[in-house]
Amino acid sequence: METAHDQALLSRLFMVRHGESTCNSVHRIAGQRDAPLTILGRIQAEQVARRHRGQDFDRVYVSPLTRAFETAGIIFDDRGEQAPEVMVDDRLMERDFGSYTLESKSILQRRHGIAEYERAMNADSPTLSGGETFGQFTARVREFYEQELLPALRRGDMVCVVSHKYVVELICRFILARPADESYDLRLPNSQMLQGDRIHSYVKNENETMNMVYDWIVVNHPVVFCAGLAAGLLGNLAGLRMSTSPYLLLLLLVVASVITMCRIELENARTFVTDRGILRSVALRYIALPVAFAALVHWWGAGSTSTAVFTAIFLATPSSVVAMTVSRCLGGMIMPSFAQVLLSSLAATFSFSVVLALTLREGVVPAVAISAATSTGVVSAAYLLVRQLRQRAPIRTAKYGERNGYVAVLLLTAFIVLVSLKLHLSAATTYLPTALGIALGLRLVAALFQRHRHVQALDDYTAMTYPNIFVVVIIAALTGNTALEQVAIWTLLPMFVLSFFDQWYARFLVVAPDDARWPAVLGLKDHPPTHEPSTGSVPARS
């Protein structure tokens, strides 16, 4: 559509992707499974309602799936006599993704490659079986576009379509007259209202290659972290040894934490933070175990630079925000990992302090103060900040977190490079065996403490496997504990090299897409509910 008349016609078209659904929150593909909105999804829809309260609509076309119908209801139901005509149309349902349904997006991206995953979602691919072919999907959406949408616009109606990501993107493709082989993910965020005559400018800001690069960085973050380690070690070997301010390192950690949390379903945090299984795991893993071990080390009289002391400190170290990224990429539920990150950081105020007091000979008071500020303080502050952002700007904040996950990975990689330049390579034989033992030992502890055959088992494992080594590095740097700093930096090497083992081990922990527990966990309905159309509208299509 290129003419001025066409542009005027498109200015009367608005399209909305539904608010965040329960499947979105766990990074799984819903397709035609009937997933409801999350708390954030409803907040997002409320923001759309406020922003467009003065906009008059003649009719609204909506998908029958609950997440879309609820979104439309929140946006339009409180308009009284000015409420538009609502028409439920089955042709606006999301594509049936067959074998991809309820699969983890990250697992699919890693299994088939980013490009092949995009092809399967936006066209046809041999990796996707069952469901609808892209031709079948295109045919029904095109029928709606040509038989319902265009005639309504040509009559002069102000129209809103409330549907799903790939339906809206397909309509955009029709408007742009884009060939099928040029299609790709437009990164349309949940609940953003897109006006028809602005589609060209929206699409112009998307870059197919860079979008896939960004996804690759997140999904393959272990490779990126290891590359950062290699770069730092090579620079160190070449004589580029340098000392970076701990405050700069802390800033990198804070910003990465905020970006990571922007895409986490924090509004539902209480459900997981008060979960008895998680509370029990945190109490045993982050309080009882490290304090008991530190007491034993203290009674034994081990030196402050002994392997036993370093082990006690790492046992007490709370979980890292990296665990949330790992959970997402390995197919976990993400929020249980966040709950362990938050609770272990709060527990660290006690357990980390006790362990440091029992094991360190010098600098105990500043070490305790710094640990509280950097572990408990950073995570708690980031959580409170992001929660406020998600309340005040729910669409923009979630969009930012989704699009900039790669930035968090790169910031942590920069952290790794900078601290690697501080390593004493000549002391590798002194510190590296201890670091390797710690990394292996933490994985063994995680395997013992995880809830076997539980839907959250993978999150248990990832949370306990990735301690906040970054915090230990900062504590050691600020207190001048060179030995602890060196062990912590060296531990980064086996920690992320062993992440490739974690990818293999996760296959035994991840919840399969056909697991009978998913409907209850995600609140899925067996079939879309039957919605009665508003007075004067046509019946829903079957």
Pairing between strand 193-195 and 13-17?
antiparallel
Under DSSP, is residue 256 helix (H, G, I), strand (E, B) or coil?
helix
User: Which of the residues are catalytic?
Assistant: 18, 94
CA 36 → CA 22, 49, 102, distances in Å?
6, 18, 14
For 284-287, which contacts have Cβ atoms below 8 Å and span 24 or more sequence positions? Answer: 284/449, 285/344, 285/445, 285/449, 285/464, 286/316, 286/318, 286/319, 286/343, 286/344, 286/347, 286/348, 286/351, 287/347, 287/350, 287/351
The answer to whether 69 and 63 have CB atoms below 8 angstroms apart is yes
Q: Are the C-beta atoms of 341 and 320 separated by less than 8 Å?
A: yes
Element (H, E) at 62: strand 59-62
Backbone angles phi, psi at 176, to 5 degrees: -85, -5
In one-letter notation, the amino acid at residue 230 is: A
Structure tokens at 445: 């502890």
Pick the closest to residue 486 from 386, 419, 541 (CA basis): 419
SS3 of residue 71 by DSSP? helix
Return the H-helix or E-strand segment holding 235: helix 221-237
Residue 321 and residue 405: Cα distance in Å, rounded? 12
Report whether 522 contacts 35 (CB < 8 A). Answer: yes
Whole-Å CA distances, 316 to 236, 282, 380: 30, 11, 17
Q: Hey, is 161 helix, strand or coil?
A: strand
100 burial type by CB count under 10 A (0-12 exposed, 13-18 middle, 19+ buried): buried
